[in-house]
Chain A
Amino acid sequence: MSFAATAPAKAQPSMLVRLVARQELALLVCLILVLAFFSFTVENFFSVRNLTNVLGQASLPLIAGIGCAIVFISGEVDISIGSLVATIALPLIIIMNDTNSLWLGIGGALLFGLIIGVVNGYLTAYAGINSLIVTLGTMFIMRGGVYLYTGQRAIPDDASLDSFIALSDGRLFNTIPYSAVIAIVLLGAFAYMMQHRPFGRQIYAVGGNQEVARLAGYDVRRVKFICFIISSLLATVAGIILAARVGSAQHTAGLNFEFQVVAATVLGGVSLAGGIGSLTGMALGVLILQFLSNGLRGLGLPTEWQLVITGMIIIAAVAFDEAKRRRANGG
């Protein structure tokens, strides 16, 4: 199985793998440059407190970004994650308020996320509808559903369980936020799956060339279906952490979150065309954007400038990457 799984990708990848490796190196250099620049210009930027804070903030796009990158690599898109983040806070907070149990609340949220993943995955993989349309639709439906249910008022967390609050401000060894620990563990697990497990290779194969993957005997539909479920479940985890952070279910939670995640993922070198990119790249993309916005805030620039600069950097990075790829391909 594992042999069969790696075989089709072997045809072109030696060059491709090297390209990706170089890409990650370039991103790492970028990250170090950003860190170095702000360490000199912003006081207290390079302090353990600030760095771990940023890591905590980065955990949400990191966790959701894993799912986003996996769906991209399989050759599809999922833009429903922002609305999902707001939606799963409802079962989470309501169940916790009723039962005073964190685990039941998380179970409810994950179950809801699973259902959305199944719906997105079924409509895309089995019904054959373009994934941008499907997730645009579920994005509208979920956001509208949250507005309807809450009447545009926040539902506060009345249970205020210690374990739930710890999700937002608890720190491992009093330094690393739990949310960052969760993000790192998930990232490690999924990066291992993508690089070293047959299923990961299948995702690359399906995204790289669907027809070849099908002829190689992979169940293309099943692979895509599972990718959407992974994406929804990971967005659910991000949503749980966000709900813990704001202490309520907010109807506006996660607005534009999908764009933030998509931007970081693409900055990290994951191609929208499918089959190209890595989770390490995505993680570096998230970190660059997070440290950048933290540093710019430290310089006293208003949030609006952060948006402008982030937008420019995304375009520049993708343009640079494209130019490099064209040169590598000889024109």
Chain B
Amino acid sequence: MSELTHASAPKRFVGGQLLGSSQLVLGVILAVLCIAISIAAPQFYSEANIIAILRQCALVLIVASGMTMLIITAEVDLSVGASLAFVGCIGMAVLNSTHSLTLGLLAALAFAGGVGLFNGLVVTRLRVNSLIATIGTMMMLQGGVYLFTREAVQNHNQLASFTDLGAGYVGAVPVPVILAALIFVVAYVTLRFTTLGRYLYAVGANEKAVRLSGLRSERLKLFAFVLTGLCVGVAGMILSSLMNAGQPTAGRGFELTVIAAVILGGTSLLGGRGSLFGTLLGVLVLKVIDNGIIILGWNQDLQMVVPGVVIILATYLDIIRNKANVR
């Protein structure tokens, strides 16, 4: 939106080098945070606390992996929070009636993927601005989930495999963290090392050029929307497993946390610029702040204020550094 930041076009094409240093700033912020918190509260480095942080990162990172790809194609999805709650309810309901983890997961993925497909079709076929289209979907899902269920869908299936999805461990590592790591690595490799990944960047940087060179830009965007939806499906099932219920009120403001993490990681809302590694750092910074506020015994409402300051500050530092580089 603000063209001022990206006024000089060449910057986008030498983006690679700049991106590296943008992550450097974030890495330094993360290191300073960790050191400061551990001086004030030594229990920060306990094994239990590190696992707690990673577990909290998992949900955000899963959805942020898809969202990073989507924002790189210059689109955005605000419906992920509302979809997360709906998916949890539907997944739990299917589990309760079928007692099959596979069917429950499939239902959740199908629903969330369907939401992504709907968003993608509205944006690519009907040419509705994605910010507006997904606000519309968000409203429909928020209303729809209450039409589906007025109260939380309780866990009546007691499937051990389902409980493990959120609360289980492999060795010392929680299952959600493993899932998040898997999804992150697949997304990272796709974006970094495959032609598909390069195409996604290209669509975001210059959609017209991509279309003129014979690629179906709509398909690529549609792909990113569906992928984001599928990520929400996985995250929704993990969340309902963690809460042991499908909560229609879950996921309020989740979309903003995810987008904040992606932006913090240096991905440009204008598209064509950004990286998943940055997103990982963004998620870590936000969640370390959250955790620090808790173990320092500060008022938990600061969990909203501090990320707000950090997002603005990090973006501003990035701009200042870019200006310095250009000179």
Contacts and interface: CB of A to CB of B under 8 A. Distances in A.
B2 A322 contact: no
A137 interface: yes
B189 to A, nearest CB: 28
B126 interface: yes
Contact of B263 (A133, A144, A210, A306): A133
Contacts, number: 154
A166 to B, nearest CB: 33
Interface in B90-131: 122, 126-129, 131
A144 B122 contact: no
B247 interface: no
A297 B304 CA distance: 34
Interface in A262-320: 262-263, 266, 272-273, 302-308, 310-312, 314-315, 318-319
A143 interface: yes
Interface residues of B, number: 45
A308 B4 CA distance: 37
B139 A307 contact: yes
A210 B139 contact: no
Nearest to B122: A315
Contacts of B304: 140-141, 143-144, 147
A128 B122 contact: no
Interface string A135-151: 01111110111011000
A272 B131 contact: yes
Contacts of B146: 302, 304
Interface in B306-321: 306-309, 311-312, 315-316, 319
B142 A307 contact: yes
A1 B202 CA distance: 43
Contacts of B132: 262-263, 266, 272, 314-315, 318
Given A306-B143, A318-B132, A129 B126 contact: no
A314 B135 contact: yes
A123 B312 contact: yes
Interface stretch (B18-26, B177-185, B231-239, B295-303): B295-303
Among A75, A140, A310, A312, find the residue whose CB has the most chain B CB atoms closer than 10 A: A140
B168 interface: no
Given A127-B319, A272-B132, A139 B140 contact: no
A311 B137 contact: yes
B325 interface: no
A76 B144 CA distance: 31
Interface in A132-183: 132-134, 136-141, 143-145, 147-148, 152
Contacts of B1: 75-77, 130-132
A139 B259 CA distance: 14
Q: Bin the interface of chain A by size.
A: 35 or more
A293 to B, nearest CB: 11
A307 B143 contact: yes
A259 interface: yes
A134 B309 CA distance: 9
Contact of A144 (B260, B303, B311): B303
Residue from A133, A220, A266 having most chain B Cβ neighbours under 10 A: A133
B2 A124 contact: yes
Contacts of A143: 304
B42 interface: no
B47 interface: no
Interface in A35-94: 75-77
Given A306-B143, A315-B122, A132 B319 contact: no
B156 to A, nearest CB: 24
Contacts of B260: 136, 140
A147 B309 contact: no
A130 B2 contact: yes
A323 interface: yes
A318 B5 contact: no
The 3 closest A-B pairs by CB, nearest first: A144-B304, A307-B143, A140-B308
13 contacts: A123-B316, A124-B2, A128-B2, A129-B312, A130-B270, A131-B1, A136-B260, A137-B308, A144-B303, A144-B306, A272-B129, A314-B139, A318-B128
Interface of B: 1-5, 122, 126-129, 131-133, 135-140, 142-144, 146-147, 256, 259-260, 263, 269-270, 299, 301-309, 311-312, 315-316, 319
Given A136-B259, A140-B308, 7 more contacts: A129-B316, A141-B309, A221-B4, A272-B131, A310-B139, A311-B143, A315-B122
